[in-house]
Amino acid sequence: MEDDMELKIPTPEQAYWGLRAMKAVALADGTLDDSERQVMQAVQRVFGTNHEVAGLEPITPEELALNLPDPQIRRQLVNGLIVMSLIDREVSPREAELVGQFAAALQVTAPEVANLRHVVKRELFHLRLDLARRFWLREKVTEIWKQEGLRGLVKFAAGMVGKYEDPTVAARYQALAQYPAGSLGRSYWEYCRKNGFALPGEKGGAPEPILFHDCAHILSGYGTAPEEEVQVACFSAGFQRRDPFLFVFFVLLQFHVGIRMTPITQASTGFFDPEKALIAMRRGAAMNVDLNHGWDYWPVMGEQVEELRRRYNILPIEAFRTRSESESEPVC
């Protein structure tokens, strides 16, 4: 997807064409397995359609392009095809090739299409390098350089590996323990202490420029277990205005496919639940603020989390659910 995030709900007809493309990608390696079928079912539950998966015929890229002219739906579908290629935890050369053909026919440029080829060829250095180049980290480093120069970069790098301490910074965050119960500041302090995370400025604490991610956890209500890290990343993809699908692609690789994308966190497999991921994305897309760009948390640290959720239009999960959680079938 492009700048200005908009998660557009497809019409039943658009969903029909898209589902046929998803089935074509799923069958590119010869089989439609349970995880791929569950993705198609989840898409329909979240978007409110009920096409019979077994009766859907695969479609060619050329036929799809003729019947799906909407540029936003095209972009979203290419992202969905990328998810489909990875959901069974291994992308075949044929799947990657077909996703590329669909993207070309739909005139959608998505760097993740090229990244799929790196996954197929196990070119993990190139894969990690490209994602690191595009990730928010690059933008944060640029901001720090402009504001604080080399000293700021050294401080940030030391914080990323848990080697930076600053008693003055630490004291500012420790004081959040005195903020009102239910406030963002107090909730952040409790979040760190509950999860065993050091506060910024303390030994092992995260650098301040990435604190927005923790705020996304608190405001969304998602925890820090692997399946919830996937959901908060999808939530972030929803409100992110620049290169949003990168978040989803990253957690798919890290927490579902099992490719370690960061030295900080061990890779794991099987934690991408397509229905929960789509709901998280829709929750983020409904927001009226991008927490990752231009949002300053300090002025609102004393405000109640519930009030901020209302202000930012962070809707509850139930607002997007079409059936009960107990009925959801996670992809294993």
- The answer, yes or no, to whether residue 144 has pLDDT greater than 80, is no
The residue extents of the domains of the chain are 12-122, 136-327
Asked if 179 and 302 count as a contact pair (C-beta separation under 8 A), the reply is yes
Please state, for a pLDDT cut of 90, what percent of the chain lies above it: 66
* pLDDT, tens only, 40-69: 999 999 888 999 999 999 999 999 999 999
Residues in the chain: 332
Architecture of domain 12-122: Orthogonal Bundle (1.10)
With a CB cutoff of 8 Å and minimum separation 6, the contacts of 59 are: 17, 20, 21, 24
Burial class for 4, CB neighbours closer than 10 Å (0-12, 13-18, 19+): exposed
- The answer, yes or no, to whether residue 17 has pLDDT greater than 60, is yes
* pLDDT, tens only, 70-97: 999 999 999 999 999 999 998 899 999 9
Average pLDDT, the chain: 87
* pLDDT, tens only, 234-292: 999 999 877 788 889 999 999 999 998 876 677 889 999 999 999 999 999 999 999 98
Query: pTM for this one?
Result: 0.82
* pLDDT, tens only, 103-131: 999 999 999 999 999 999 999 988 988 88
